[in-house]
């Protein structure tokens, strides 16, 4: 990937991550998915990963750490707990 495309890709990952997390929250709020569903957890994990890349790139370390923890919780829910 060219050097000029990398900042754009990082920005896209950040926006996509935000959309996934907001989308997951919306789906739970309107009761389209359950909070213990695999879809909800994967949306949160994928969203957090996008925001981790974006936050680290932009040196936004509090946001990066928050999203590392957020992704960790999602991975925990997917791997240890039984999800639907």
CA dihedral 55, 59, 62, 68 (to 10 degrees): 40
Q: Is residue 84 part of a domain?
A: no
Domain hosting residue 34, numbered range:
5-79
Residue 74 lies in a domain: yes
Cα(36)–Cα(50) distance, integer angstroms: 21
- CA 24 – CA 46 distance, rounded (Å): 11
Span 2-18, mean pLDDT?
94
E-state strands within 1-84: none
CA 28 to chain centroid, in Å, comes to 15
Percent of the chain's residues with pLDDT above 70:
93
Q: Quote the number of domains for the chain.
A: 1
The answer, as to whether pTM is greater than 0.85, is yes
């Amino acid at each position: 990937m060219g050097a000029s495309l990398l900042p754009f890709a990082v920005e896209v990952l950040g926006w996509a991550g935000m959309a996934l997390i907001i989308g997951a929250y919306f789906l739970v709020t309107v009761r389209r998915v359950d909070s213990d569903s695999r879809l909800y957890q994967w949306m949160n994990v994928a969203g957090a990963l996008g925001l981790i890349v974006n936050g680290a790139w932009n040196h936004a370390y509090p946001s990066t750490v928050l999203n590392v923890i957020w992704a960790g919780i999602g991975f925990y829910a997917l791997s240890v707990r039984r999800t639907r």
